[in-house]
Amino acid sequence: MANLVRKFPHGIQPYLELARVDKPIGTLLLYIPCAYSICLAASPGQLPSFYYLGLFGVGAFLMRGAGCVINDLWDKDLDKQVERTKNRPIAAGVVSTKNAIKLLAVQLTLSLGILLSLNPTCIMIGCASMVPVVIYPLAKRVTMPQAVLGLTFNMGALMGYTAVTGTINWPVQLTLYASCFIWTLYYDTIYALQDLHDDKKAGIKSTARLFSKYSDKELQVMGFRATSHFMNVKFISLILHPFCRALPNLHLQHNIIYKYSKVNPMNRKSCWDAFSANKWVGLILIGGIILSKITQTKKLDERTRKIVELQYDSSDLHNN
């Protein structure tokens, strides 16, 4: 995508870089929870709604770009102190604060148009998601911005299902949201390891600094636990057709053993490669969910629904 950005006029390129058009991995990781939720809402034997997959895809692109502009406006002084970020358009003085705000206004206006096309419940969730978007850069100055990012990045896990069905399914949506949160916490910690030394100098708080005492093998174990929880939550095991269950799990093993095991906290490229590998975990699981849905019978779906509801009711009784 970086090569594509360079084909645009020079005056436009800094704005595309500000919106991270040249780095689509962030948009993809924002979109994946949306896609999970939309695919899980599909009826047995049916493909997911391509309309909502496309609509949420555009929304993810716009909101990821808006989030990056907000982040860079907050962090323009901090970014100058970090090697990886010192050449970002606002920090480098290529894009003025005034023009960045104009770009943000366009992104948010278009995003609002998409949000207003959804049902009222989705609109309320979408409005609520702006709170962690705005406070995420502030969290860097306090503690664990990765946790705030996890709250922000996975709102689509709550919205997608409701957009398709018009209802809220708490056992599915909350479990998915919690699982994606843990996943985000892990992969963004790996991402933040790229800036570990600069963050210490600039006083930026992060889980990377918190976990910096761990070795690469210990990080591998952390990644295994986080992603294993994500991949093996009960509701996913229940809804996946037996034919499709092995697909995401086999890919999980490949990523954990061959990708995450090579994480070197002291090597930026190693951290970036491990971070980027997470897109394959997500895309493979989307494929597994779609395959499970189109091969799922109504009888199996009814049995699954009853099991999930029973487990949810039992959990409430236990907690009470």
pLDDT in tens, the chain (320 residues): 778 888 899 999 999 999 999 999 999 999 999 999 999 899 888 999 999 999 999 999 999 999 999 999 988 988 888 888 899 999 999 999 999 999 999 999 999 999 999 999 999 999 998 888 888 877 777 777 888 889 999 999 999 999 999 999 887 888 888 888 888 888 888 888 888 777 777 777 777 777 666 555 555 555 555 555 555 444 454 455 454 454 445 455 455 445 554 677 778 888 888 888 888 878 878 887 888 788 776 555 555 555 545 544 544 444 44
Residue 6 in domain:
no
Residue 55 maps to a domain: yes
- Give the number of domains in the chain: 1
Helices and strands (H, E) in the chain, number of each type: 18, 0
Residue 298 CA from chain centroid, whole number: 31
Q: Cβ(34)–Cβ(61) under 8 Å?
A: no
H/E stretch holding 155: helix 155-165
Question: How far is Cα of residue 54 from the mean position of the Cα atoms in its chain?
Answer: 17
CATH code for the domain of 69: 1.10.357.140
57 domain-assigned: yes
Rounded to whole angstroms, the Cα distance separating 99 from 94 reads: 10
Q: Look at residue 320 and tell me if it is in a domain.
A: no
E-assigned strands of the chain?
A: none
In this structure, the number of other CB atoms found within 10 A of the CB of residue 119 comes to: 14
Q: What is the pLDDT of residue 189?
A: 82
Q: Is residue 208 part of a domain?
A: yes
Threshold 0.85, pTM exceeds: no
Cα separation of 241 and 239, whole Å?
6
**Domain for residue 257, yes or no?**
yes
Domain contains 8: no
- Which of 25, 109, 101, 39 lies closest to 70, judged by CA? 101
Rounded to whole angstroms, the Cα distance separating 306 from 92 reads 57
Q: What is the DSSP string of 110-173?
A: HHHHHHTTS-HHHHHHHHHHHHHHHHHHHHTTTS-HHHHHHHHHTHHHHHHHHHHHSS--HHHH
Is 222 domain-assigned?
yes
Domain that holds residue 105: 13-315
Q: Using DSSP, state whether 187 is helix, strand or coil.
A: helix
Token code pair at residue 221: 């174990």
What's the CA gap between 234 and 227, in Å, rounded?
14
